[in-house]
Structure 1
């Protein structure tokens, strides 16, 4: 197991597509100190080192490095949807269907009222013609 596997796992479990972390936060995730070379942006940028592969292999890249901070960005679409977001999406979808059904019912009800009103008006006009 690579020394950087915990960082790789951490990034793989994230639901958002970006993570900006301090070196201290990354060291907490790793459970170990970063090497002195990690203080240099070149350590983070690239594709051929084993530590770089730990995030690249899971669809992440380093988008910025500076002032003791590293920004990671997901490079591939993230398909995992958090349960709360999924539930909210399904609830919103159900609400849209209810609103659409209510809208159709209101439209049909309005059309029936209009036809009934025209029928009453026609009956009055016919009744008025017969009495003339």
Structure 2
């Protein structure tokens, strides 16, 4: 088990799509001090999965880092919209379940659209063949 598993668990338990934390709050969650490179190099906070071991912790929770403030020692973890949400504790009824539209027939399953997607908007692909 990774020493950063506590961060994965903490982020997975969050209801909001973003979690703002100071480096000190983050250290309390993981139970160990952050490495020096976390305070010295902005790249340490990148979302590249080959970056460092802690990166795997927030990516595994379905979050990405953003708004890294090195001077203020703060950052935001934002839920990655490409990560499926955990199943709801109770099954809603009707064609929309947990914010997802249930598809039928050959497309049976679920389809999740990003917030703000307008399926009626032109795609800009008209006339292409």
Structure showing greater relative contact order (alpha-carbon pairs closer than 8 Å, 6 or more residues apart): 1
Q: CA deviation at 1:47?
A: 1.8
Tell me, in whole angstroms, the C-alpha distance in 1 between the residues paired with 2:66 and 2:56: 15
Tell me, in whole angstroms, the C-alpha distance in 2 between the residues paired with 1:81 and 1:63: 27
Runs of 4+ deviating beyond 2 Å: 76-82
Match of 1:69 among 65, 68, 74: 74
Which of the pair has more CA radius of gyration?
A: 1
TM-score normalised by structure 2 residue count? 0.58
Q: How many residues were matched structurally?
A: 84
Match of 2:62 among 40, 59, 63: 59
More strand by share: 2
CA RMSD of aligned residues (A): 2.1
Unaligned runs of 5+ in 2: 90-129
Q: CA deviation at 1:77?
A: 5.0
Tell me, in whole angstroms, the C-alpha distance in 2 between the residues paired with 1:53 and 1:15: 20
TM-score normalised by structure 1 residue count? 0.57
Task: Check the 8 A contact 1:15/1:80 in 2, yes or no.
Answer: no
Q: 2:45 is matched with which residue?
A: 44
More helix by share: 1
Unaligned runs of 5+ in 1: 83-132
